[in-house]
Amino acid sequence: MNLNALSLFVSVVQDGSLSKASERLNVPIATISRQITELEKSLNIQLFDRKKSGVKPTMAGQKLYEQVYQNIDNLLQVEKAFSEHQEISGKLRISTFAGLQEVWAWVDEFCIQYPKVQVHCQITDRVLDLVEDNIDFAFRAGDLHTDNAVARLVLSAKTKCVAHPHLLAQYGTPMTPDDLVHFPCVGFAKAEQKELMISLENKTLHLPYVFASNDVYAVAYFIRQGRGIGYLPKQMANRLIEEYGLVEVLHDYPMRTYPVHLLYLKHRYPSSVMRAFLDFVMEKVGFYAV
């Protein structure tokens, strides 16, 4: 089997099109197409469904990718390791949920430390299939689906309840969480939710809302405009308190903290980029990768 053709095949799957792989690798499209065709003939299978928008691996192509992409990456890294002054390079695919600024700060520091690593970060709160979605690492809070993944605790998500001074002047200051039913509330919710669910340390509040979103930045905007009172991630709330004069309320009644885990597939031979990022994150949280 032609290892160069396999390497090109992996790149096309990861980039989603021959043209993008060609541009990134600086290899002519014709060369990539010919190598892929020869690989398909040697295996007697079709590897891609070709569409106007790009290419998508067939079921057989996806299965081949899952079996070879880590080994191909490791072979490339071994080859590079023998080059003098070689730095870690490659592409890292990360997923976080909205507002996870602590992790984004880690990624920024990682990029400074490894300038030849290219990072793509997907922001979503949906459940991911790390293989199907082509994600190396996912940061998730709450219920986890870890049948085929490793989960490592890295953070505890904390929040603050904040409001604009103008809103407090109009409605007063809530003294207990139960008082929030008398205030216009904004917060995080999925489309099917008819009310906000605020999980405190000892109970869960169910509150009507004037505005809800699955984007924490949209929630923050409405709080900043004085349209409602709501909970925001601690770091974001602190910044808005400092920059826009928002006021923290109900600080004696904190929301339940949620553990944030780093999820990744357990590979026997993880790529050098993945290993570097895992070591970096574990050092940040006071552990060491094993």
What is the residue extent of each domain of the chain? 3-82, 90-156+259-288, 159-248
Helices 59-81 and 272-284: angle between axes, nearest 10 degrees: 80
Sequence-ordered strand ranges (E) for 61-181: 90-96, 117-123, 137-141, 150-157, 159-163
Q: Is the pLDDT of residue 290 over 50?
A: no
Least confident of 52-66, 147-161, 257-271: 257-271
| 107 token code pair | 């990624």
DSSP 8-state class, residue 82? T
Contact between residue 180 and residue 174 where contact means Cβ atoms under 8 Å apart:
yes
Q: Look at residue 171 in the predicted model and tell me its pLDDT.
A: 96
Q: Which amino acid is at 228?
A: G
Q: What is the pLDDT of residues 227-260, one digit of tens each?
A: 999 999 988 999 999 999 999 999 999 888 888 9
What's the pTM? 0.60
Q: How confident is the model at residue 213 (pLDDT cuts 50, 70, 90)?
A: very high
The pLDDT > 90 percentage for the chain reads 39
Please give the distance of CA 185 from its chain centroid, rounded to a whole number.
27
Instruction: Answer yes or no: same fold for 3-82 and 90-156+259-288.
Output: no
The domain defined by 90-156+259-288 folds into: D-Maltodextrin-Binding Protein; domain 2 (3.40.190)
Q: Which listed CATH number (3.40.605.10, 3.40.50.2300, 1.10.10.10, 1.20.1090.10) goes with 3-82?
A: 1.10.10.10
- Whole-angstrom Cα distance, residue 270 to residue 274? 6
pLDDT at 102 over 50: yes
- Mean pLDDT, residues 198-205: 87
Looking at residue 287, its pLDDT comes to 53
- Decide if domain 159-248 falls under CATH 3.40.1350.10: no
Mean pLDDT of the chain: 86
CA distance 235 to 213: 19
